Amino acid sequence: MQLQQLIDRMIDQAHETDPGGIYNILLGTRPATEKDWPKGKRVYRWCPVAQTKLVPNYVVVLAPSPDNLKGGDLYEYHGRILNGDVTRHTVQRQ
């Protein structure tokens, strides 16, 4: 799956659950596909983009900003770059 399509799906899912939420895109230092996609991107669709060694190269993480918790649960989204699966993990329950 293309990295950009996966990230778009993740952002869309996050905004369905938390329309006003702010999220950060975390990528490994060398994403499994489209290794050059993050170059020159500081923000993608209102989400800051960061690379870290803590995220494996086959996963992209859509992490919530700490102030997203306005009245509901706080979720983090993990997308598997190679097959396009997206899972939602609860970070904090309200």
Domains of the chain: 3-92 (3.30.2320)
Encode the chain (94 residues) as per-residue pLDDT tens digits: 589 999 999 999 999 988 888 899 999 888 888 778 888 889 999 999 999 999 999 999 999 987 776 667 788 999 999 999 999 998 877 7
Distances in whole angstroms, Cα of residue 4 to Cα of each of 42, 60, 74: 14, 10, 23
> How far apart (Å, rounded) are the C-alpha atoms in residues 35 and 77?
20
